[in-house]
Amino acid sequence: MKILLVEDDRMLAKELARALREENFAVDIAETGEDGQHLGETESYDAAVLDLGLPKVPGVEVLQRWRKQQRHFPVLILTARDGWTDKVEGFKAGADDYLTKPFRVEELVMRLRALVRRAAGHAASRISCGPLTFEAPTGQFELNGLPLKLTALEWRVLECLIMRKESVVERGLMSEKVYEGDVGTDSNSIEVIVARLRRKIGKTMIETERGRGYKLTAGQ
């Protein structure tokens, strides 16, 4: 799951990015409205966290430009203003949810996961594929009812697959969702990560579609 964080408060952005990465999110940070707008229009994200009080280009204007460019990823707005009119302005611009500062990071994580899950078309918070289940609110994977231990990159790949279960996920899209900045090294390539996942959940659950990508199935 890859998140765009647009926040001009450098210390807050650093704290939020650290907390999100601890929850296995990949995070790109933009400190200005201009940079946030550019990234949102040119990169692939599962969701964005957007501060409204940005200098030069306000968050509402950034959001309006994204929507005009048909960028429909979920957006959670952050605001230090608790007035209803500010929230209405954000929703009219195309926001999906909001948090008023100060807030708990745990709540931010839960709301982001809910937004991404709904955007992927999953109404229920528990997503299953054969013996594999994903508790979306907590980010916990289970195999046959037992917790599954995963590295951060393994979690991102498996989350990408289960959100699109029984459908082929192209390698390029998966790379965009998994890595921050440059594509991972050979030791952490998509192929290597998929091989590790097969050892953990079973070889038959992840099918290779040659020349395209991978598909998570219920297995044999």
Domain with CATH 1.10.10.10 in the chain: 126-216
Q: How far apart are CA 93 and CA 77, in angstroms?
A: 11
Domain with CATH 3.40.50.2300 in the chain: 2-119
The answer to whether 162 and 127 have CB atoms below 8 angstroms apart is yes
* pTM: predicted TM-score of the whole model, two decimal places: 0.84
Task: Give pLDDT, residue 90.
Answer: 86
Q: What is the mean predicted confidence (pLDDT) over 104-131?
A: 91
SS3 for 104?
coil
* DSSP-assigned letters across all residues of 131-178: TEEEETTTTEEEETTEE----HHHHHHHHHHHTTTTSEEEHHHHHHHH
φ, ψ of residue 196 in degrees (nearest 5): -65, -40
CATH fold of 126-216, please?
Answer: Arc Repressor Mutant, subunit A (1.10.10)
The answer to whether 139 and 155 have CB atoms below 8 angstroms apart is yes
Residues ≥6 apart with Cβ < 8 Å to 78: 7, 49, 50, 51, 52, 59, 98, 99, 101, 103
pLDDT value at 57 more than 80: yes
- Percent of the chain's residues with pLDDT above 70: 95
Q: What is the mean predicted confidence (pLDDT) over 12-21?
A: 94
Task: Give pLDDT, residue 147.
Answer: 95
Residue whose C-alpha is closest to residue 66's, from 102, 30, 100: 30
Q: Which of 12-21, 74-83, 113-122, 177-186 has the lowest mean pLDDT?
A: 177-186
Residue with more model confidence, 15 or 56? 15
pLDDT tens for residues 168-185? 999 988 988 888 865 555
| 56 confidence band (pLDDT: 50, 70, 90) | confident
SS3 for 126?
strand
pLDDT value at 77 more than 60: yes
Q: What is the mean predicted confidence (pLDDT) over 25-42?
A: 95
pLDDT value at 151 more than 80: yes
- Percent of the chain's residues with pLDDT above 90: 72
The CATH number of domain 2-119, selected from 2.130.10.30, 3.40.50.2300, 2.60.120.260, 3.40.50.300: 3.40.50.2300
pLDDT value at 212 more than 80: yes
The answer to whether 71 and 95 have CB atoms below 8 angstroms apart is no
Residue whose C-alpha is closest to residue 2's, from 73, 92, 87: 73
Mean pLDDT over the full length of the chain: 90
3-state helix, strand, coil in the chain (%, to 5): 45, 20, 35
Structure tokens that stand for 202 in this block: 């079973």
The overall longest dimension of the chain from CA atoms, in Å, is 56
Q: What is the mean predicted confidence (pLDDT) over 108-133?
A: 91
Q: How far apart are CA 180 and CA 188, in angstroms?
A: 13
